[in-house]
Structure 1
Amino acid sequence: MVLTAVLDYVGVATFAMVSTVAARDRRLDLVSAAMLGTVAGIGGGTLRDLALDRTVFWLHDPGYLYVCVGAATLVWFVGAGPRRRQTLLFLDALGISSFAVVGALIAGEAGVSAPVAVVMGILTATCGGILRDVLAGELAVLVRRDIYISVAMLSATVFVVATELRLPPVPAAICGAAVGTVLRVLVITRRWQLPAPPRA
């Protein structure tokens, strides 16, 4: 499906670029930055494919690797001022949502149940960032109060529910990606956070 490929490449490119900004801030060299960008871009999809016992997607389409390295190299040389950083944050919102939809779609095509498809969407959208943070010595998104994983869950859930209601795959994917992107943009612009547990 063309839309799947488009969403997948959007996610890969944006994750690689956002990760390279962080690597550049830490004064990492180009090779290290490209490595972190590639891990972020393909990490979640790799774990998804392994869990679903599929051929890992970038093994038969190395274009994903070229996109990761190219995007990382571009950002490393060009840099990212305040305006570019803001743009990348919005692109990252689209990337998270796109990855979640793609993961859920691929899982559905593999014949898993709806709840498992949602989990595969979350895994696809978040695990690359988690692996990147671990390698870079950062606090992983999994343990931050930032509304990040919830965005992936919402996107994947909207897509899965839409397909269960017999909406065609393309409109369902657009709905899932759009809802998640809007939520993430609101999180960024309004600085929303999920509530912390009450003190004991």
Structure 2
Amino acid sequence: MPIESLAPGPVLQALNLFGIAVFAATGALAAAQRGQTLVTAAFFALITGVGGGTVRDLLIGASVFWIRDAQTAALCLGAALVIWVTPERWWTHRAFEWFDAVGLSIYAVYGAAKALSFGVPPTPAAVMGVVTACAGGILRDMLVGEPSILMRPELYVTAAALAGGLYVLLIALGLPTYVAAPCAASAGFLLRGAAIRWKLALPAYRGRR
């Protein structure tokens, strides 16, 4: 399939903007729940919203997406402002988890799609989906001094891998982006949602017996 045909289309671009806004909101929430200022909340929102995509673009040799696009930074700052002016009772820890689940699944798909459009082979492209989905959250958790999302017991990275990997597979099977993207993102979200709801987790290493 020609690389040009793998470029993210309007549906995926719209999903990407939504994912950025949701991830930015989780960053702002992390700051607001710790009594930080609006400036700090905006900084957290920006780092969380663009962090994963920045790492991805540097790895695949692309121009860092948000540097030349004022819309992205404005979206992150707008998400921070919405969090800041709304009542704290609206944003529980459970809301934080579900927002993060939405951003995770969408960003994983977009990351894989952009990697494919730059000629990255399928398996590394799926990995780029995971990097895109997880790096921003890792940076957010480092800033607030929380254990990394990678250390959460329930499925997290696995959900990102499912979304990114399924997108790559569906594209390889010949499905158009506007079909493959929502299907893959939904699968990742459902797995992450099930993990949140029922505390699903992979077996942990138990050492020598």
Residue in 2 aligned with 1:78? 86
What letter corresponds to residue 123 of structure 2 in structure 1? P
What letter corresponds to residue 70 of structure 2 in structure 1? P
Residue in 1 aligned with 2:199? 191
Q: Do the aligned residues in 2 keep the contact of 1:14 with 1:88 (CA within 8 Å)?
A: no
Residue in 1 aligned with 2:42? 34
Q: CA deviation at 1:195?
A: 2.0
Number of residue pairs the alignment of both structures matches: 200
Structure 1 residue ranges, 4+ long, deviating more than 4 angstroms after superposition? 82-85
Q: Do the aligned residues in 2 keep the contact of 1:40 with 1:131 (CA within 8 Å)?
A: yes
- 1:7 aligned onto 2:15: yes
1:139 and 1:112, CA in 2 relative to 1: closer, same or farther beyond 3 A?
Answer: same
* Post-superposition CA distance 1:171-198 (Å, at most 9, x none): 1111110100111111111122222212
C-alpha distance in 2 between matches for 1:87 and 1:29: 21
Q: CA deviation at 1:71?
A: 0.5
User: SS of the residue aligned with 2:66?
Assistant: helix
TM-score w.r.t. the length of structure 1 is 0.94
What letter corresponds to residue 39 of structure 1 in structure 2? I
How many percent of aligned residue pairs carry the same amino acid?
A: 38
Structure 2 residue runs without a partner (length 5+): 1-8
Structure 1 residue runs without a partner (length 5+): none
1:89 and 1:141, CA in 2 relative to 1: closer, same or farther beyond 3 A?
Answer: closer
Q: RMSD value over aligned CA atoms?
A: 1.6
C-alpha distance in 2 between matches for 1:51 and 1:8: 19
TM-score w.r.t. the length of structure 2 is 0.90
C-alpha distance in 1 between matches for 2:166 and 2:87: 35
Residue in 1 aligned with 2:59? 51
User: SS of the residue aligned with 2:78?
Assistant: helix
- 1:24 aligned onto 2:8: no
Q: CA deviation at 1:83?
A: 6.7
User: SS of the residue aligned with 2:105?
Assistant: helix
Residue in 1 aligned with 2:175? 167
C-alpha distance in 1 between matches for 2:69 and 2:90: 34
- The one of 133, 142, 145 equivalent to 2:150 is 142
C-alpha distance in 1 between matches for 2:19 and 2:78: 14
Residue in 1 aligned with 2:6? none
Q: CA deviation at 1:153?
A: 0.4
User: SS of the residue aligned with 1:57?
Assistant: coil
